[in-house]
């Protein structure tokens, strides 16, 4: 009875604490992913763990800082350029709206009043939706600005926790393993080894996909002579990483905008670019996942297809993950099955 009561208390604590512990959990995951590099340095250079952790941590900070500086510098540069050109963009939109109003007045003169009222009601509904979306976007931006200090604190906690977890990881593993029997320990070690390999492989695959998407988007935007190619390419990559969303969430609305503003060639080019990025990603994803995460190309392809059919774009990640977990539990002896005819 006491055991079940303790489990219930732990479950309740986790329910309330986990949402507040995202930086800590990410730091632990990062430390686990860095562990192979730390142990490799210890074995190769015969250094103490503290020095090895310090080397990996400094490299991590340097790479993160360099990438952040390059990205922020380019973002600020192109945002300034965009803000300087915003009045001209708004003026162009205003001219297009004026031309549309003139065409509408000519059109409405020869159309029955009921049809006109229906169309105008639809436009009013669309206008309200756009105003509501704009208002929500503005509120979201203001909310984000107010949370910047909190985000900076969480980033600082994350980096400190990564360093401390990396130092303490072997001791934490021993403490956790002491809670289990020898037989259970063997299964846990097999599971952690397999999942760690899959986790590192997954991150490598995501970095490769993001780099490929950025290059394809940047080259395509340069060919189409679109303004702010770096800024838009970064936005496309960020949106592509997010669950459910994809490159089409940026490129398709942008293409629609180009068609509306009379830039048909650019709109068609954006649609073609979206199709190329999507096809290239879908062709190489099974092979990359199979080589990085330790599952066969056929299993990767089938799991991604079924995952996509069941839960959409998120299934492209969930499908292979389910296969990896199943295979890991099978190798650890947790899942046992024999089927013969």
- Highest-scoring range by mean pLDDT, 35-39, 108-112, 136-140: 35-39
Give me the percent of the chain exceeding a pLDDT of 70: 71
**Average of per-residue pLDDT across 134-159:** 76
Tell me if residue 184 falls in helix, strand or coil. helix
Across 9-23, 119-133, 221-235, 297-311, least confident range: 119-133
More confident residue, 129 or 41: 41
pLDDT recorded at residue 143: 73
**Average of per-residue pLDDT across 233-246:** 74
Contacts 24+ apart (CB under 8 A), 92-100: 92/261, 93/261, 96/260, 96/261
Residue-averaged pLDDT of the chain? 77
**Average of per-residue pLDDT across 19-42:** 85
Q: Tell me: the pLDDT tens digits for 10-27?
A: 777 767 777 778 889 888
Whether the pLDDT of residue 185 is over 90: the answer is no
pLDDT recorded at residue 33: 80
Q: Tell me: the pLDDT tens digits for 55-105?
A: 999 999 998 888 788 777 777 776 677 667 766 766 666 666 666 666 666
What is the DSSP-derived secondary structure letter of residue 294?
Answer: T
Across 126-130, 199-203, 282-286, least confident range: 126-130
pLDDT recorded at residue 101: 62
pLDDT recorded at residue 159: 93
pLDDT recorded at residue 240: 78
Across 64-78, 124-138, 155-169, least confident range: 124-138
The encoded tokens of residue 325 equal 């977990």
Give me the percent of the chain exceeding a pLDDT of 90: 12
How many Å separate Cα 36 from the centre of its chain? 24
**Model confidence, pTM:** 0.61
pLDDT recorded at residue 112: 66
The encoded tokens of residue 39 equal 């142990």
Sort 308 into a burial class: Cβ within 10 Å, 0-12 / 13-18 / 19+: middle
* Contact of 38 with 52, CB cutoff 8 Å: yes
**Average of per-residue pLDDT across 231-249:** 75
pLDDT recorded at residue 71: 73
Task: Give residue 313's pLDDT band: very low, low, confident or very high (50, 70, 90).
Answer: low
Q: How far is residue 46's CA from residue 38's CA, in Å, rounded to a whole number?
A: 11
pLDDT recorded at residue 305: 76
Task: Please state the φ and ψ torsions of residue 47, each to the nearest 5 degrees.
Answer: -95, 160
Q: Distance between the two ends of the chain, CA-based, in angstroms?
A: 44
Q: Tell me: the pLDDT tens digits for 289-301?
A: 777 666 666 777 7
Q: How far is residue 54's CA from residue 222's CA, in Å, rounded to a whole number?
A: 41
Whether the pLDDT of residue 54 is over 90: the answer is yes
* Residues whose CB falls within 8 Å of the CB of residue 306, separated by 6 or more in sequence, listed in order: 315, 319
* Residues whose CB falls within 8 Å of the CB of residue 245, separated by 6 or more in sequence, listed in order: 239, 313
Q: How far is residue 195's CA from residue 187's CA, in Å, rounded to a whole number?
A: 12
Whether the pLDDT of residue 320 is over 70: the answer is yes
Whether the pLDDT of residue 241 is over 80: the answer is no
Whether the pLDDT of residue 215 is over 80: the answer is yes
Q: Where are the domains of the chain?
A: 20-179, 183-334
Helix (H) or strand (E) holding 191: helix 182-223
């Amino acid at each position: 009875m006491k055991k079940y009561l303790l489990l219930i208390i732990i479950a309740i604590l986790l329910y309330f604490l986990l949402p507040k512990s995202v930086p800590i959990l990410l730091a632990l995951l990062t430390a686990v992913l860095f562990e192979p590099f730390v142990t490799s340095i210890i074995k190769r250079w015969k250094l103490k763990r503290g020095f090895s952790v310090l080397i990996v941590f400094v490299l991590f900070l340097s790479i993160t800082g360099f990438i952040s500086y390059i990205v922020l510098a380019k973002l600020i540069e192109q945002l300034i350029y965009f803000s300087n050109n915003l009045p001209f963009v708004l003026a162009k939109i205003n001219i297009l709206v004026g031309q549309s109003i003139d065409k509408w007045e000519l059109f409405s003169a020869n159309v029955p009043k009921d049809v006109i009222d229906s169309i105008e009601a639809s436009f009013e509904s669309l206008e309200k939706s756009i105003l509501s979306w704009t208002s929500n976007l503005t509120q979201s931006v203001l909310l984000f600005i107010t949370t910047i200090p909190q985000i900076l604190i969480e980033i600082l906690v994350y980096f400190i926790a990564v360093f401390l977890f990396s130092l303490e990881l072997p001791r934490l593993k021993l403490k956790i393993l002491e809670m289990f029997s020898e037989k259970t320990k063997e299964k846990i070690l097999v599971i952690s080894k397999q999942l760690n390999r899959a986790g590192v492989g997954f991150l490598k695959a995501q970095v490769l996909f993001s780099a490929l998407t950025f290059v394809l988007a940047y080259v395509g935007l340069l060919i189409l002579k679109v303004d702010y190619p770096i800024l838009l390419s970064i936005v496309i990559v960020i949106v592509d990483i997010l669950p459910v969303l994809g490159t089409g969430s940026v490129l398709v609305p942008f293409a629609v905008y180009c068609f509306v503003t009379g830039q048909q060639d650019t709109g068609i080019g954006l649609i073609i670019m979206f199709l190329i990025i999507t096809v290239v990603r879908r062709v190489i994803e099974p092979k990359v996942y199979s080589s990085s995460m330790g599952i066969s190309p056929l299993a990767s392809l089938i799991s991604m297809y079924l995952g996509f059919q069941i839960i959409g774009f998120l299934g492209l990640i969930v499908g292979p993950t389910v296969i990896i977990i199943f295979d890991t539990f099978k190798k650890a002896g947790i899942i046992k099955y024999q089927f013969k005819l």
